[in-house]
Chains A and B, each alone.
Chain A
């Protein structure tokens, strides 16, 4: 019975989370223009509840990696990600953040997922605003399904912890 209540409670919390994603735009390159377009009234990301960019990673739960990540930026990106509170979600915005894009050289990282986990990848150079909204809807479904990487990680950690407890009890 208690389990039923807690799972239902979490569903309610996730319902709230998916419609109020606080994004932290990690804007490094030209995709930022497209991010502005998505955020501005024409495409209006506010319709999906993610309109409020925070200027500190500690206050946000959606990291949007907008643009090319260089090897030199790797530690900074990792740090920003680590500073965000759980549960958190990550979107790689554009092909550079997803795979490195057309860069194949000494300085560009072949995708932000070399350093941090990513939930949704948006292809395109830059992606159309519709693609971004589509990705956001996809992410909302994942949040509700408890499929985000940090949700899955928490679940894994919980199982490991329970198993350890069970072994102690034996």
Chain B
């Protein structure tokens, strides 16, 4: 549907676009972390791209993730996606963009390894990403650099950890208050 966006992106930025994917009318581009802002600025400002609408930000935890293995193919069907400077990525942060005037959309992704969860914030470009980047920080611990107000948005400040990570214990609770006649951690 908007394959031409991916083609234009590749023509303009070449190596900064690590991989692209096009499925069911959804175009996805995995880009290099240090080129994210340049690419996003161009996507917003170029009249042929004109992505004026920020749709959502979220994060994907790839812990224990295995691609669906197609018969006759090697175990990893997407080598370019699973390699960040030689390491397997733990998280993929993705920004969904949309253009009403050009009638196309694009999902930008950045892969992050576990001990380096820093990525540039796109809130300075689209202020609509503000709260959603805060939510992504709250739930996954991704640090958006350049975000004007990176605090927890849903959970309380006393909360330790990031609950939507796959390694957060499912039943772990962090109560703020309990009746004094109840003993123990629930």
Contact = CB atoms under 8 A, between A and B. Distances in A.
Is chain A's interface secondary structure helix, strand, loop, or mixed overall? loop
Contact of B168 (A78, A106, A116, A117): A106
A116 B179 CA distance: 6
B182 interface: yes
Given A72-B156, A106-B163, A107-B155, A114 B170 contact: no
Interface in B149-186: 154-156, 163, 168, 170-179, 182, 186
Nearest to A106: B163
Contacts of B154: 72, 107
A134 B115 CA distance: 56
B179 A105 contact: no
Contacts of A105: 163, 170-171
A104 interface: yes
Q: In terms of DSSP, what is the predominant structure of the interface of chain B? A: loop
A74 B177 contact: yes
Highest count of chain A CB atoms <10 Å: which of B154, B163, B178: B178
B171 A72 contact: no
A65 to B, nearest CB: 14
B179 A72 contact: no
A75 interface: yes
Interface string A79-107: 00000000000000000000000001111
A147 interface: no
Interface of A: 71-72, 74-75, 78, 104-107, 109-110, 113-117
14 contacts: A71-B173, A71-B175, A72-B154, A105-B163, A105-B170, A105-B171, A106-B174, A107-B155, A109-B175, A110-B173, A114-B178, A114-B186, A115-B178, A116-B179
